[in-house]
Protein backbone atom coordinates (compact mmCIF):
# COMPACT_ATOMS: atom_id res chain seq x y z
CA UNK A 1 0.00 0.00 0.00
CA UNK A 2 2.81 2.43 0.90
CA UNK A 3 4.64 1.64 -2.35
CA UNK A 4 1.46 2.28 -4.35
CA UNK A 5 1.05 5.62 -2.60
CA UNK A 6 4.68 6.58 -3.36
CA UNK A 7 4.22 5.63 -7.02
CA UNK A 8 1.04 7.70 -7.13
CA UNK A 9 2.80 10.69 -5.55
CA UNK A 10 5.65 10.34 -8.04
CA UNK A 11 3.22 10.18 -10.97
CA UNK A 12 1.26 13.16 -9.71
CA UNK A 13 4.48 15.08 -9.13
CA UNK A 14 5.60 14.42 -12.70
CA UNK A 15 2.15 15.44 -13.95
CA UNK A 16 2.17 18.55 -11.81
CA UNK A 17 5.54 19.79 -12.94
CA UNK A 18 4.75 19.46 -16.62
CA UNK A 19 4.53 23.08 -17.75
CA UNK A 20 4.88 24.25 -14.12
CA UNK A 21 7.09 27.10 -15.26
CA UNK A 22 4.69 28.04 -18.05
CA UNK A 23 3.41 31.60 -18.00
CA UNK A 24 0.48 31.87 -15.61
CA UNK A 25 0.64 28.36 -14.13
CA UNK A 26 -0.27 28.08 -10.44
CA UNK A 27 -1.27 31.72 -9.84
CA UNK A 28 -1.31 33.10 -6.30
CA UNK A 29 -3.26 36.14 -5.15
CA UNK A 30 -2.16 36.89 -1.58
CA UNK A 31 -3.60 40.42 -1.69
CA UNK A 32 -7.08 39.08 -2.55
CA UNK A 33 -7.34 37.22 0.75
CA UNK A 34 -5.62 39.42 3.34
CA UNK A 35 -6.10 42.94 4.63
CA UNK A 36 -4.14 44.54 7.48
CA UNK A 37 -2.44 41.21 8.23
CA UNK A 38 -5.68 39.22 8.62
CA UNK A 39 -7.81 37.05 6.37
CA UNK A 40 -10.69 39.00 4.84
CA UNK A 41 -13.87 37.73 6.52
CA UNK A 42 -15.76 37.20 3.24
CA UNK A 43 -12.98 34.87 2.00
CA UNK A 44 -13.39 32.35 4.84
CA UNK A 45 -14.69 28.99 3.61
CA UNK A 46 -13.57 29.70 0.05
CA UNK A 47 -10.75 28.38 -2.11
CA UNK A 48 -7.60 30.47 -2.16
CA UNK A 49 -4.16 30.28 -3.74
CA UNK A 50 -1.26 31.77 -1.79
CA UNK A 51 2.50 32.01 -2.17
CA UNK A 52 5.09 32.33 0.57
CA UNK A 53 8.07 30.77 2.31
CA UNK A 54 7.82 27.94 4.84
CA UNK A 55 9.07 29.26 8.20
CA UNK A 56 8.24 26.28 10.37
CA UNK A 57 6.86 22.74 10.08
CA UNK A 58 5.06 21.06 12.96
CA UNK A 59 3.13 17.84 13.35
CA UNK A 60 -0.53 18.68 13.46
CA UNK A 61 -3.58 16.57 14.23
CA UNK A 62 -3.32 12.95 13.06
CA UNK A 63 0.43 13.54 12.48
CA UNK A 64 -0.27 15.53 9.32
CA UNK A 65 2.12 18.42 8.79
CA UNK A 66 1.24 22.03 9.49
CA UNK A 67 3.30 24.67 7.70
CA UNK A 68 3.75 28.21 8.98
CA UNK A 69 4.01 30.23 5.77
CA UNK A 70 5.31 33.79 5.57
CA UNK A 71 3.56 35.84 2.90
CA UNK A 72 5.70 38.53 1.23
CA UNK A 73 4.93 42.27 1.08
CA UNK A 74 2.59 43.96 0.65
CA UNK A 75 0.63 41.37 2.69
CA UNK A 76 3.52 40.74 5.13
CA UNK A 77 1.87 38.25 7.47
CA UNK A 78 2.01 34.55 8.28
CA UNK A 79 -0.63 31.86 8.07
CA UNK A 80 -0.66 28.26 9.21
CA UNK A 81 -1.44 25.81 6.42
CA UNK A 82 -2.73 22.38 7.43
CA UNK A 83 -1.96 19.60 5.01
CA UNK A 84 -4.84 17.26 4.24
CA UNK A 85 -2.38 14.40 3.67
CA UNK A 86 0.77 13.05 5.21
CA UNK A 87 4.19 14.16 3.95
CA UNK A 88 6.05 11.29 5.55
CA UNK A 89 8.96 11.65 3.12
CA UNK A 90 9.60 15.28 4.04
CA UNK A 91 9.10 16.54 0.48
CA UNK A 92 8.50 20.09 1.71
CA UNK A 93 11.10 21.76 3.94
CA UNK A 94 11.65 24.96 5.90
CA UNK A 95 12.79 27.65 3.46
CA UNK A 96 10.87 26.27 0.48
CA UNK A 97 9.09 28.87 -1.66
CA UNK A 98 5.62 27.39 -1.65
CA UNK A 99 2.39 27.92 -3.54
CA UNK A 100 -0.71 26.40 -1.97
CA UNK A 101 -4.28 25.88 -3.13
CA UNK A 102 -6.74 25.23 -0.34
CA UNK A 103 -9.62 26.48 1.77
CA UNK A 104 -9.34 29.43 4.16
CA UNK A 105 -11.02 28.35 7.39
CA UNK A 106 -11.84 29.82 10.78
CA UNK A 107 -9.80 28.30 13.61
CA UNK A 108 -12.48 26.50 15.61
CA UNK A 109 -12.67 26.97 19.36
CA UNK A 110 -12.21 23.22 19.90
CA UNK A 111 -9.08 23.12 17.69
CA UNK A 112 -6.61 23.11 20.56
CA UNK A 113 -3.61 22.27 18.39
CA UNK A 114 -3.96 25.24 16.02
CA UNK A 115 -4.90 27.51 18.92
CA UNK A 116 -1.66 26.44 20.66
CA UNK A 117 0.52 27.78 17.81
CA UNK A 118 -1.39 30.85 16.66
CA UNK A 119 -3.84 33.43 17.88
CA UNK A 120 -4.98 34.07 14.31
CA UNK A 121 -8.64 33.49 13.68
CA UNK A 122 -7.99 31.72 10.37
CA UNK A 123 -5.79 29.07 8.81
CA UNK A 124 -5.70 27.23 5.50
CA UNK A 125 -6.51 23.61 4.66
CA UNK A 126 -4.21 22.89 1.72
CA UNK A 127 -4.58 20.13 -0.85
CA UNK A 128 -2.26 21.29 -3.69
CA UNK A 129 1.30 22.27 -2.75
CA UNK A 130 4.00 23.24 -5.23
CA UNK A 131 7.54 24.60 -5.01
CA UNK A 132 8.33 25.47 -8.63
CA UNK A 133 11.99 26.51 -8.13
CA UNK A 134 12.85 23.17 -6.49
CA UNK A 135 10.42 21.17 -8.66
CA UNK A 136 8.61 19.61 -5.70
CA UNK A 137 4.89 19.12 -5.34
CA UNK A 138 2.20 17.25 -3.44
CA UNK A 139 -1.42 16.93 -4.51
CA UNK A 140 -4.39 15.29 -2.82
CA UNK A 141 -6.08 12.86 -5.24
CA UNK A 142 -9.57 14.09 -4.28
CA UNK A 143 -8.68 17.60 -5.45
CA UNK A 144 -6.96 16.70 -8.71
CA UNK A 145 -9.52 18.52 -10.89
CA UNK A 146 -9.01 21.77 -8.97
CA UNK A 147 -5.23 21.26 -9.15
CA UNK A 148 -5.42 20.82 -12.94
CA UNK A 149 -7.48 23.99 -13.26
CA UNK A 150 -4.96 25.83 -11.07
CA UNK A 151 -2.09 24.55 -13.23
CA UNK A 152 -3.83 25.97 -16.29
CA UNK A 153 -3.70 29.46 -14.74
CA UNK A 154 -7.10 29.75 -13.06
CA UNK A 155 -7.84 29.71 -9.35
CA UNK A 156 -10.89 27.44 -9.01
CA UNK A 157 -14.02 28.90 -7.42
CA UNK A 158 -14.81 25.76 -5.37
Nearest in space to 128 (alpha carbons), one of 112, 95, 152, 94: 152
Q: Which band of pLDDT confidence, cut at 50, 70 and 90, is reported for residue 136?
A: confident
CB 82 within 8 A of CB 124: yes
Q: How far apart are CA 11 and CA 8, in angstroms?
A: 5
pTM over 0.85: no
CB 82 within 8 A of CB 125: yes
Domain ranges of the chain: 2-151
In angstroms, the first-to-last Cα distance of the chain is: 30
Q: Is the pLDDT of residue 114 over 90?
A: no
Q: What is the mean pLDDT of residues 8-26?
A: 55
Task: Please provide the average confidence, as pLDDT, over all residues in the chain.
Answer: 83
Q: What is the mean pLDDT of residues 85-96?
A: 83
Give the three-class secondary structure for 26.
coil
Q: Is the pLDDT of residue 11 over 60?
A: no
For the stretch 53-85, pLDDT in tens is 999 998 888 888 999 999 999 899 999 999 988
For the stretch 28-37, pLDDT in tens is 999 999 998 8
Q: Which band of pLDDT confidence, cut at 50, 70 and 90, is reported for residue 91?
A: confident
The residue ranking higher by pLDDT, 36 or 20, is: 36
The residue ranking higher by pLDDT, 1 or 120, is: 120
pLDDT at position 61 = 80
CATH number for region 2-151: 2.40.50.140
pLDDT at position 51 = 96
Amino acid sequence: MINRFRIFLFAVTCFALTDANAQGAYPAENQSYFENGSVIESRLGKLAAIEGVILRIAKGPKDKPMYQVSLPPPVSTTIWVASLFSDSNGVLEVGDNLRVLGFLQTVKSDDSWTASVTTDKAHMLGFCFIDIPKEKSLFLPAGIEQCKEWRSGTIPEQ
